[in-house]
Amino acid sequence: MKMNGARIMLECLKKEGVDTIFGYPGGTVINIYDELFGFKEIRHILPRHEQAGTHAADGYARATGRVGVCLATSGPGATNTVTGIATAYMDSIPMVIITGQVPTPLIGNDAFQEVDIIGITRPCTKHSFLVRDVKDLALIMKKAFYIARSGRPGPVLVDLPKDVQIAQTEFVYPETVEIRSYKPNLEGHPRQVEKAVAMMLDSHRPVMYVGGGAVLGNAADELTALARKLTIPVTTTLMGLGSFPENDPNSLGMLGMHGAYCANMAMTNSDLIIAIGARFDDRVTGKLGTFAPHAKIIHVDVDPTSIKKNVRVDLPIVGDVKDVLTKMIKQADKLKDKVAEFKTGLASWHGDIAGWKEKHPIGYKNSSTIIKPQFVIQKLRELSDADAIIATDVGQHQMWTAQFFQFNKPRTLLTSGGLGTMGYGLPAAMGAQAAFPGRQVITICGDGGVQMNIQEIATLVQNKLPVKIVILNNNFLGMVRQWQELFFDKRYSSTCMELPIDFVKLADAYGAKGFSTSKPGDVEKMIKQGFKEKGPVIMEFKIAREEKVLPMVPAGAALNEMVLNA
Amino acid sequence: MQHTISVLVENEFGVLSRVAGLFSGRGFNIDSVSVAPTNEEGMSRMTIVTRGDEQILEQINKQLNKLIDVIKVIDFTDGSGIEREMALIKVTAEDENRAEVLRIVDIFRAKIIDVTPKSYTIEATGNPVKVEAILDLLRPLGLKELVRTGAVTIGRGAKGWKG
């Protein structure tokens, strides 16, 4: 059947199983919006800012594992998506971003609302397409979704000029797609897997170091099975939280700059690190020269560029983590006697780890007069559903959430790990809630970050998305303030917000509910009250203003040089 | 250390900027780059001369392969390739210099492709070391303008790049 480009675009989304998109109208996408009018199969959610729409698509993708989709007009609409795209790119989130573009004859003429969005986003997209002929549109959409979700996932941008949206052609959606220059290697090499298992069984102080790849690759079950089978301790990065249950005795929690003492000590003293879908980020390794000095390294990753980028690797395995872990389990099953012997040999290593856990557990000093943020996080865990989805912003509250919430299931933590984008939490929670209307979705924010996309409360109310917004308010840009306290003689340059915001009134203005307290005794009651509300809620906790995130590895220090109390 | 890499790419919109952007964005060096279509429909070939230690070269290789439009990356560092470059050189040629320029052109089997009473324009082809050598000889005589293609490289032997 003949259709115009705008309609073809929507039909392609339908074919890809897209049920929700986040978009903002404008001059160069008005034809798409005209086709959307009455298009029942796709729910369109109108955020109040394109950046938020992009984060919402990202949150939708992280929570579901499907490709998130957002739509923006040309020029300023397109540039507003850039932070959201870069956020998704750094954390390898599958997304398709559709931008309107000025008509092809005007491209390059500095037309009204024209911007070279392909050029602007080139370094922060996995790939991008400018559609110049409506006949190419269906194939490009097919390729865009395939590229976004396969291999190491990532955002793909499709720039769609207005005249291409109007032009008509026959709509045929390709059944399959073949790109001769793009063939991600998904199957781990069996010989390498055999060698890896042999190395594991020869080790005495092994650690599994697990990143976001285990979550993205849906490999939590396989990871948990292998770690439990071999009783190897597991530490995760911020992005890896949830891939291995933190209530498991072999969990070391998060490692790195604000990681657990036991995790960082285990890495430093290990003789074998098994890195799974992790990329040895500087926030994880600390000073590279002293990182894991005694350890051999096995590195499993679907992206060959992650391997040997920052650290030497003794055994690389390129492949999908789920495939590699499954093969490792099978291989270990063939070596039952060796495995039994290996497990017995780990007793002293487990003893060391238990000692470190006991010596410096993640903790804080509670107070009966002032609310400690860590206490709020613990109460949130206690009172929320087991499958609740938590979206954080970036800063102190993000680290406290990582340290104290205890994540036991994959895809329950949505957080901007790589780019560290303030303003991410609220719109990401919105995207997750749109995907799972029946689940509890909570965003934990600071008073700084929440104000970067605060306008989205309107979207929540309008679309009946009952996100619970927790604000840990210290009236500071707390993480930077903490650095200023520790490393800049308490010169609090521009980190005090000064003007206090009445978040209860603000919630009211948007038609949401708002609660606030500064009393530790009211914390539990208020959380229960907030969770009971049917609609979106702001829960503001006025917390100890100068509470710090500890432990901390100062930037550039070695992992075992942690500041434990300051 | 200098390395020569051939990159076979889809002849798509923006592919040159993707490759160039990869080098600038990740702080890799480009000494020269040349690009043109190949005998295969829709495929172009770039020859990039770059420098870096082994680890950087490995990253360049992997990062290039990661680009969606890159079909194949061939590293000619081990001397398995034949390298050629062309230079167009406009040199001052007056009085007794005119004979000297001609002698140099002859020795290097280069060609005069344009001539005026005050200048010669020379076409010189060879591996980049040879091109450097003729330039070293001509420089004292007065180089007015220089255009180089950058190196292009092809593998030795009977096999094509597909093997």
Identity at B24, one-letter amino acid code: S
A128 chain-B contacts, CB cut-off 8 A: 14
Choose the closest CB to B17 out of A119, A132, A305: A119
Confidence of residue A566 (pLDDT cuts 50, 70, 90): low
Give the count of Cβ contacts less than 8 A between chain A and B.
39
Q: Which two tokens stand for residue A273?
A: 């690190």
Closest by alpha carbon to A304, among A320, A291, A292?
A: A320
CA angle A14, A17, A19 (to 5 degrees): 80
- Whether A49 has a pLDDT exceeding 80, the answer reads yes
pLDDT at B38: 96
Compute the distance between CA of residue A60 and CA of residue A22 in angstroms, rounded to an integer.
10
Is residue B104 within 8 Å of residue B89, measured between CB atoms?
Answer: no
Query: Is A92 a residue whose pLDDT tops 80?
Result: yes
Q: CA B19, CA A148: separation in Å to the nearest integer?
A: 20
Which pLDDT score is estimated for A547? 97
Reported as a single tens digit per residue, the pLDDT across B82-100 is: 999 999 999 999 988 999 9
3-state secondary structure of B11: coil
> Has the ipTM of the complex gone over 0.85?
yes
DSSP code string of B51-83:
E--HHHHHHHHHHHHHSTTEEEEEE-TTTTEEE
CB B111 within 8 A of CB B86: no
- For residue A95, what are the CA distances in angstroms to A87, A213, A275, A333, B16? 11, 16, 26, 38, 24
Tens digit of pLDDT for each residue in A147-157? 999 999 999 99
**Cα gap A175→A103, rounded to integer Å:** 29
Q: How high does pLDDT run on average in chain B?
A: 94
Decide if A303 touches B, using CB distance below 8 A: yes
| Sequence-separated contacts (24+) of B114-120 with Cβ below 8 Å | B114/B90, B118/B92, B118/B93, B118/B94, B119/B90, B119/B91, B119/B92, B119/B93, B119/B144, B120/B90, B120/B91, B120/B93
Cβ within 8 Å, pair A305-B63: yes
How far from B32 is each of A235, B128, B152, CA to CA, in Å? Answer: 45, 11, 10
Q: How far off is chain A from B148, nearest CA to CA, in Å?
A: 28
pLDDT at B80 over 90: no
Distance, CA of A461 to CA of A467 (rounded, Å): 9
Would you state the pLDDT for residue B127? 94
What DSSP letter does each residue of A5-35 carry, written as one string?
HHHHHHHHHHHTT--EEEE---GGGHHHHHH
Q: Are residues B9 and A122, on separate chains, in Cβ contact within 8 Å?
A: no
Helices A373-383 and A523-532, packing angle to 10 deg: 40
Query: Is A115's pLDDT higher than 80?
Result: yes
Q: How many CB atoms lie within 10 A of CB A2?
A: 9
> Given B13, B55, B71, which is nearest A130 (Cβ)?
B13
Torsion sign (Cα): A475, A478, A481, A485: positive
Q: Which two tokens stand for residue A489?
A: 């003689």
Strand partners, B75: B5
CA R_g for chain A: 24
Q: Is A358 exposed, middle or buried (0-12, 13-18, 19+ CB in 10 A)?
A: exposed
How does B26-37 read in b/e, with b if 16+ C-beta sit within 10 Å?
eebeeebbbbee
Please enumerate in sequence order all residues whose Cβ is within 8 A of that of A46, keeping only pairs 6 or more positions apart, or say none: A22, A23, A24, A25, A459, A462
CA count, 13 A, side-chain hemisphere, A250? 22
- Mean local confidence (pLDDT), A314-328: 98
- Average pLDDT of the residues of chain A: 97
Taking the CA of residue A148 and the nearest CA in chain B, the distance in Å comes to 11
Q: Which of B42, B32, B43 is nearest to B72 (CA)?
A: B43
* Residue A338 tokens, joined: 């060796």
Question: What is the pLDDT at residue B79?
Answer: 79
Q: Which two tokens stand for residue A10?
A: 């929507």
Report CB contact under 8 Å: B59, A130: no
Question: Rounded to an integer, what is the distance from CA B25 to the centroid of its chain?
Answer: 22
CA dihedral A47, A49, A51, A56 (to 10 degrees): -10
pLDDT score at A462: 98
Q: Tens digits of per-residue pLDDT, B41-55? A: 999 999 999 999 989
User: Which of B23, B66, B69, B162 is the best mutation test for A, with the most CBs of A within 10 A?
Assistant: B66
Residue pair A18/A60 in contact (Cβ under 8 Å)? The answer is: no
Residues, chain A = 566
Active centre residues of A (catalytic): 50, 112-113, 162, 479
A552: β partners = A563
Q: Which single residue is written with the structure tokens 């769609």?
A: A160
Instruction: Measure A179 CA to nearest chain B CA, in Å.
Output: 9
Could you report the per-residue pLDDT of A471-497, keeping only the tens digit for each?
999 999 999 999 999 999 999 999 999
Could you tell me if A85 and A124 are in contact, meaning their C-beta atoms sit under 8 angstroms apart? yes
> Comparing C-alpha atoms, which of B42, B43, B20 is closest to residue B33?
B20
Nearest-Cα distance to chain B for A282, in Å, is: 16
Identify which of A122, A303, A309 has the shortest CB distance to residue B21. A122
Query: What is the rounded CA–CA span in Å between residue A100 and residue A110?
Result: 15
What is the rounded distance in angstroms from the CA atom of residue A45 to the CA atom of residue A48?
10
Cis status, amide bond into A361, omega within 30 of 0: no
Residues whose CB falls within 8 Å of the CB of residue B90, separated by 6 or more in sequence, listed in order: B114, B119, B120, B121, B122, B143, B144, B145, B146
Secondary structure E strands in A228-333: 234-236, 251-254, 272-276, 296-301, 315-318
Is A58 within 8 Å of A95 (Cβ atoms)?
Answer: yes
Instruction: Mutate one of A182, A309, A311, A318 to test the B interface: name it (highest B CB count within 10 A).
Output: A182
Q: What tens digit of pLDDT does each residue of A384-398 get?
A: 999 999 999 999 999
The helix (H) or strand (E) run that includes residue A83 is helix A82-90
Which has the closest alpha carbon to B151: B22, B28, B1, B35?
A: B35
- pLDDT band (50, 70, 90) for residue B13: confident
Of A61, A108, A103, A101, the closest CA to residue A79 belongs to: A101
Q: Do B70 and A181 touch (CB under 8 A)?
A: yes
Taking CA atoms, A459 is separated from A36, A426, B156, in Å, by 19, 11, 63
Write the pLDDT tens digit of every residue in B19-49: 999 999 999 999 999 999 999 999 999 999 9
pLDDT digits (tens, 9 = 90+) for A330-384: 999 999 999 999 999 999 999 999 999 999 999 999 999 999 999 999 999 999 9
